[in-house]
Amino acid sequence: MNENLKNAQNLIDFIYDSPSAYHVIENSVKILKEKGFIELNLGEKWQIKKGGKYFVCQNDSSLFAFVLGTSEVEETGFKIVAAHSDSPTFKIKPSPEISVDDKYIKFNTETYGGPILNTWLDRPLSIAGRVSVKGENPLKPKTYLFNIKQPILVIPNLPIHFNRTVNDGVALNKQVDMLPVAAVVTKEINKENLLATKISEHINVAVEDILEVDLNLYDFTKGSIIGLNNEFISSGKLDDLAMVHAGLTAFIDAPISKATNVLAIFDNEEVGSRSKQGAGSPILKDILNRIAFVQGKNEEEVQRAIYNSFMVSADMAHGLHPNHPDKHDPVSRPVINGGPAIKIEGNQKYTTDSNSCAVFEMVCKEAKVPYQKFVNRSDMVGGSTLGNVSAGQLAIRSVDIGNPMWAMHSVREISGVDDHTFMIKALSSFYKLN
């Protein structure tokens, strides 16, 4: 297996082992600890030293890792790669069991982010996330990560015989059409506590001690490498776990540099980032300031460190669609396996400007990696991402980039095998800069 296929398979494995944002962080922590990183706590005193490798988590769903540079932080600043741990999905509501004519049990859910709804129909689904249970201190409940690891749910389509115009397009109602079926009712099933009973069996905690859950659905089918020449990656959650994996891979193997290298994995990007673990919060600013303050820096030196920093906001991009090329800009149309796409938007939904764009172009050239440019059609409004949200908290030079992909927010997305290695090499080159 060549390097590109190996990196692509590693990504597929990482995604399969990360069915929720909480599992993304758990698996990232395992990788960091294997590389000698030391965990810090936001609520405790920090002791750090130059060349030291550290990380800190927030809410179990976001992570901030850093390698302290050898130079003074106010002189060389921070080199940051940012990505996000969450993906569009369906969240389990409280007391989710709904009985249908006393024959079936389905679960009550709500959409998280903007999933392409019809792609979730008729697929084997499962549940994963975090469970909070009774603890000795009411302010500190115990938490468990939970993953059933078997296909227990399905959202069934309506047959064409009941909807003859289905192939002309159908508007799916999130409360009516998108509720997953869990079981056939039997005498042995606890209809009122079906999910809690399943959770209790998995985490070995009494049902009455289970207080609340943060659980989401996920496609149980593992991703794969496809295409006549094995050129595509087919998987859920490529947006944005492909960038998490590329950033993490580059970060852990980067040599210690003069500047302080940082990897920021935020949560809740898909719903606007306005949470304590999202890019719209002061969490990254607080951590960067704290790194400087713990080293004895004063307020001016902290500000110098910030203004000598640079951030790569890494979130997937739209690749030229083979069936709808008309949806793209007539000139800047990045293609899958053509290299990372630099995302540009005149109204600053992306933070890229000529200065930051030039930085990333030179990074790619240094890494001998091809790169492309992405802009929206002038008559279509695109989405924003981590860069412009975090800019509201930190005035850091920033560029928005991502690998081209198809079917963003589908339960099954497509990206390029070669592109994943291109991105790892580009981010590795960035982290090596002095």
What are the pLDDT digits (tens) for 323-336?
Answer: 999 999 999 999 99
pLDDT-derived band at 285 (thresholds 50, 70, 90) equals very high
Position 158 scores a pLDDT of: 93
Instruction: State the chain's mean pLDDT as an integer.
Output: 95
pLDDT value at 81 more than 90: yes
- CB distance 29 to 63 below 8 Å: yes
191 pLDDT above the threshold of 90:
no
**CA 83 from centre of chain:** 6
Tokens of 23: 């599992």
Phi, psi of 127 (to 5 degrees): -130, 140
DSSP H or E stretch at residue 431 = helix 417-432
pLDDT-based confidence at residue 134 (cuts at 50, 70, 90): very high
Q: 7: closest CA among 420, 431, 419, 428?
A: 420
Q: Give the mean pLDDT of 252-264.
A: 97
Phi, psi of 366 (to 5 degrees): -60, -35
92 forms beta bridges with: 109
**Helix, strand, coil share of the chain (percent; to 5):** 30, 25, 45
Q: How far apart are alpha carbons 277 and 18 in whole angstroms?
A: 18
pLDDT at 161 exceeding the cut of 90: yes
- The three-point CA angle 49-51-60 to 5° equals 80
Give the three-class secondary structure for 411: coil
pTM over 0.85: yes
Answer yes or no: is pLDDT of 192 > 90. no
Position 295 scores a pLDDT of 95
Nearest-angstrom CA–CA distance, 90 and 92: 7
pLDDT digits (tens, 9 = 90+) for 308-325: 999 999 999 999 999 999
| CA 57 – CA 277 distance, rounded (Å) | 9
pLDDT at 1: 67
pLDDT tens, 408-423? 999 999 999 999 999 9
